[in-house]
Structure 1
Amino acid sequence: MAHFNIFFTGRDDALNCVMIGEDSSPRFFCFESQAPRTVLYSNNNTKVASLHFGQGPQLGNATIGARTQPIRDLLAAGTSPNARSFYAADGKRYEWRRIPNDPDAYDLYALNPPVVRVAAFRRYQEQIPNLGQCHGLLQYTFNGSDLILYTLLTLALNRRVDAAAT
């Protein structure tokens, strides 16, 4: 099984950072936030997704490609207290599980039988040649543009919600 990497560079902020990697093609993503909206750009500054945050208890909406859905659907209850799930564009359910002994670490599982880990995010402080200072690493085993968008958006949302809770 192939493993791919995306390095998080730029600001050390879940919703304001640059992500660089490669799977079947080079990958470049950038989150840019200006309240109440966050936009995810891809390779050639193409807007591929956005988060429009609501006020008060309203989380707001996410637009991924042509699909709009409530942000709460991307942070649905998981199979355990340390997990949050979502359905991707492929109709399959996935779940981010926060690692109990490392609050900045998350594993992504595909919940459609068989349950299998398909990605892992870890804090990562290292200077990488040609990239600069990196503060996170996403390793994944799937290949698909839609799923990588859902993965990046839901990871950022989970990190932001968990950071706000501490």
Structure 2
Amino acid sequence: MTVDKESDKGPYICNGTQSSDPEYTQSSDEVTLTVAEKPEPELTSDLKGAALTGNSVTLYCTLKLQSAGWKFYWSKDTQSRETETETNHYFIRSVSVSDEGQYRCRAGRGNPVYYTHYSDALWVTVSGESPPVSLIINPSRSQHFTADSLSLSCEEQRDSTGWTVKRYTL
């Protein structure tokens, strides 16, 4: 049987007839078949514009129907090779120009694997570099107390020509 429409859903049984006594039949237990449209994932990212070289980017592949057992498959620029993840996000640690491109995702589960449709494409644009400075706290510890003395300084990590460095209080 090929399931090709939602109206194929519903209860099914099968009957067995004994060849020596055609009047004698037995029925299987009823099985209810649920049919739904193939899911189409939505691909989003944590970007608010272009990614800066060296920064990280996370892509999210979201399914409307939330259920367990899905693995996620990621492709870039319609490459035939896909990267598989157990979670619905794909993390690019240190973005470079080679990461720029058109990304798609899909999900799959089961054996043999049942795949969803591919998501619409999401463009990741990479431009420029991260600022060449770091904020240094001295003394370097995670907690400070009132009346502690500390210093905050912006230090250049590489050539900062063309950059304006400002310090802000949050």
The interval holding the TM-score normalised by the smaller chain is under 0.3
Q: Which has the higher helix share?
A: 1
TM-score by length of 1: 0.20
TM-score by length of 2: 0.20
Q: Which has the higher strand share?
A: 1
